[in-house]
Amino acid sequence: MNKQERNRNPYQNIDWGKQIRITGCTHLHCASREEFIHAMENGLEFATFANYYPSVPYYPASSIRENTFKLGQPSYIQNGEVIHERLDYRKLYAEWGVDQSQLPTSEGELLFPPAPAGFMEAPNAEHHFFSDYNVYLHITCPGSFFCSGTYDRNRKSVLVQHGIHVGTQMPWRKAFDAMLDALMIPDGGGIVINHPHWSHLPHQFLCEMLDYDQRVLGLEVINANCGVDGTAAAESQWDEVLGTGRQCYGFCVQDHIDAGKIQGRCILMPEERTVESCLRAYRQGRFYGALKGKGLTFESVEFDGHTLRARCDKEAIMLLLSHRGVLVELWTGRELVYSVPDADRSKDIFLRVTAMDKASGEKLFTQPFMLV
C-alpha cells in the first residue's frame, strides 16, 4: 500500500477569495468532433477524456486521427502482461501471416478541431473487463498513460487468438499497479471507481479497493448518465464508506455527453493554472462536485477542526451530513455554520455539505472532512 494518506481536511489553507477554479470531468467519453465541440461549449477547461475500445488516452487530443487506434496504440496487454512498446497492427499481422486488408491504409483526418486558448488536458481512459471481477467494474485513472484493450469491440479479428483482448483481462490489483506506475506525475492524479451504484459494487469491495493504495482517490457520487435506470447517485454508498473512517473523495461526472450537455463535473481549485497543478488538486481533494457547474457556487468552505463554515454565492438549500445522517438543514440561506461538540466527534466520523439551488437545479457536494 502507498502510505501517503488521502487528505482528511481537503480545503485547508485555501484562500477562497483569490482561488483559481477550473472545470474538469474525470469520466467523459469524447470520441468525435461533435462531442469535442459540445465539451468546449459546456465550459470544460481541463480534459481527462475517458474513452474505451481501446482504453487508451486520446492524448494529446490534437494528435488523434480517425483511424489512429485502428492502426496501433502506444502500449498494450498480451496474455495478462503489459507490453511497453507500440502495438503496430500491420507489423503483427505480417508476423502472423494474417490478411491486412481489413486495416485502414492511413490514419485519416484529425478527429478533433483545434481547442480554445487555455485548454488543458491529461491522459486518462476507462478500463474494464478485469479477470478477477465482473464486467461491471469500470475504472478511470486521470493522469495515467496506461493502455488496455483494443479497438476490436466485436472480437472479429485474430487478436484474441494471440492473447490481446478487448478489455484489461488482468487481476484488478495488477491493473491498478500498472495504472499508477504510468501516472504523468508521481504526486498527482489517481484512480477513481466509476458508477458504483450502477455497477452494484458491494461495500466491502469498495473498502478493499480504497485500502489497496491511497492513490485510489474515491468514487463517483454522481454519474449523470446513469439517471435513466435510477443509479446516477451513489451518496448512500459514499456515506457508508466514509462511516468506516476511510477518507474517500466524491466525484461528479457526465460519462457520455447527453444531448450536447455536460451535467456532472468537478470544480478544481489548483494552486496554478497548469495541468500538473490540476492533477495535484485531484490527489489532494481540492475540488468540489457540481451537478451542472452553473447557477450556484461555493464562495468558501472552511473547517478548523472544530467549526465548519460553508458559504454560497446566493441563497440555497444547504445540508450538513455525517454518518448519522442530516445534522443541519438550512432551507434558505447563504451560510451554514456548525461547531462539532467534542462528545460527537467519534459519533459523526465525517462531515460534508451539499447545497442546492431550486431555480437552476444546481447541486454541489463538498469533499468530506474526517473527524477521527
**pLDDT per residue as tens digits for the range 67-117:** 999 999 999 999 999 999 999 999 999 999 999 988 999 999 999 999 999
Q: What is the pLDDT of residue 2?
A: 43
Whether the ω angle into residue 60 lies within 30 degrees of 0, i.e. cis, is yes
Q: Which of 273, 293, 313 is the last residue of a domain?
A: 293
For 240-297, how does the pLDDT look when each residue is reduced to its tens digit (9 = 90+)? 999 999 999 999 999 999 889 999 999 999 999 999 999 999 999 999 999 998 899 9
Domain check: are 301 and 352 in the same one?
yes
In angstroms, the CA 331 to CA 196 distance is 29
Cβ-Cβ contacts under 8 Å for 123 (sequence gap 6 or more):
48, 57, 59, 143, 144, 145, 184
Helix (H) or strand (E) holding 168: none
Q: How far is CA 234 from CA 24, 197, 334, in A?
A: 20, 6, 26
Q: What is the pLDDT of residue 4?
A: 56
Domain check: are 41 and 147 in the same one?
yes
Q: What is the pLDDT of residue 303?
A: 97
Domain check: are 99 and 47 in the same one?
yes
Please give the span between the terminal C-alpha atoms of the chain, in angstroms, as a whole number.
21
Q: Which of 293, 310, 327 is the last residue of a domain?
A: 293
Q: What is the pLDDT of residue 3?
A: 43
Task: Determine the structural domain holding residue 328 and report its residue range.
Answer: 295-372
Return contacts of 327-336, CB within 8 angstroms, 24+ apart.
327/351, 334/299, 335/309, 335/310, 335/311, 336/308, 336/309, 336/310, 336/311
Confirm if 179 and 127 have CB atoms less than 8 A apart.
Answer: yes
| Number of separate domains in the chain | 2
Dmax (CA) for the chain in angstroms is: 73
Domain check: are 116 and 265 in the same one?
yes
Domain check: are 257 and 371 in the same one?
no
Per the domain annotation, does 289 fall within a domain?
Answer: yes
- Only one residue has cell 472545470, namely 23
Q: What is the pLDDT of residue 342?
A: 87
Domain check: are 241 and 314 in the same one?
no
Q: Domain containing 62 — which CATH number?
A: 3.20.20
Domain check: are 200 and 315 in the same one?
no
Q: Domain containing 320 — which CATH number?
A: 2.60.40.10
Domain check: are 98 and 150 in the same one?
yes
Q: What is the pLDDT of residue 297?
A: 97
> HSE (CB half, 13 Å, CA atoms) of 56?
21
Helix (H) or strand (E) holding 114: none
Domain check: are 308 and 219 in the same one?
no
Q: What is the pLDDT of residue 258?
A: 87
Per the domain annotation, does 16 fall within a domain?
Answer: no
DSSP secondary structure letter of residue 306: S
Cβ-Cβ contacts under 8 Å for 62 (sequence gap 6 or more):
110, 112, 114, 115
Domain check: are 259 and 231 in the same one?
yes
Domain check: are 231 and 93 in the same one?
yes
Domain check: are 183 and 289 in the same one?
yes
The segments of the chain whose pLDDT lies below 50 read 1-3
**Tally of CB atoms within 10 A around 352:** 24
Q: What is the pLDDT of residue 64?
A: 98
